[in-house]
Amino acid sequence: MSDDPRVLFGHRLAELRRAKGWSQEKLALESGLARSYLGGVERGQRNIALVNICKLAETLGVSPSELMKFSG
């Protein structure tokens, strides 16, 4: 597994999204972010902005720190 924080964050985001039974499309619609952007975040290809971390956390009903719970 990679120790790149972008990859770790992406895996954590995907884990929390799947736990809700949501597709990337559903998360995109609920959060107001583009599905292609979320796909890039989940693959660790994008360096997500703090404001978007907060937006995704709110959408998923978790704290921003919950999205950051990953080990490198």
pLDDT tens by residue, 29-63: 999 999 999 999 999 999 999 999 999 999 999 99
Helix (H, G, I), strand (E, B) or coil at 52: helix
Using CA atoms of 27, 30, 35, 40 in order, give the dihedral in degrees to the nearest 10: -60
| Domains of the chain, each with CATH number or no CATH | 5-63 (1.10.260.40)
- Whether the pLDDT of residue 72 is over 70: the answer is no
- Compute the 3-state secondary structure of the chain and give helix, strand, coil in percent, each to the nearest 5: 65, 0, 35
- Which sign, positive or negative, has the C-alpha torsion 46, 54, 21, 23? negative
pLDDT at position 1 is 63
Residue identified by tokens 């609920």 is 30
pLDDT at position 69 is 94
Question: What predicted TM-score, i.e. pTM, was given to this entire model?
Answer: 0.93
- Whether the pLDDT of residue 3 is over 80: the answer is yes
